[in-house]
Amino acid sequence: MLIAKPCTSMKGIIVTPQERYDADLEDLCECMAEKGYRIKRVSRFLALLKGKYDVTVFPSGKIIVRDTSDKEEALKIANDIYECLKSYRVM
For the stretch 29-63, pLDDT in tens is: 999 999 999 999 999 999 999 999 999 999 999 99
pLDDT at 47: 97
**Alpha carbon distances (Å) from 40 to 5, 10, 28, 57, 88:** 24, 19, 13, 12, 21
- Tell me what pLDDT residue 3 has: 95
What is 2-90's CATH number? 3.30.310.10
Under the banding of pLDDT at 50, 70 and 90, the label for residue 91 is: confident
Residue-averaged pLDDT of the chain: 95
Residue 86 has φ and ψ, to the nearest 5°, of -55, -30
For the chain, the structural domain boundaries read: 2-90
Rounded-to-integer distance, Cα 13 and Cα 3, Å? 10
**φ, ψ (nearest 5 deg) of residue 46:** -110, 120
Answer whether 0.95 is exceeded by the pTM. Answer: no
Residue 1 has what pLDDT? 86
pLDDT computed for residue 57 by the predictor: 97
CA distances in angstroms from 33 to 12, 21, 26, 39, 80, listed in the order given: 22, 20, 11, 7, 12
What is the Cα–Cα distance from 38 to 7, expressed in whole angstroms?
23
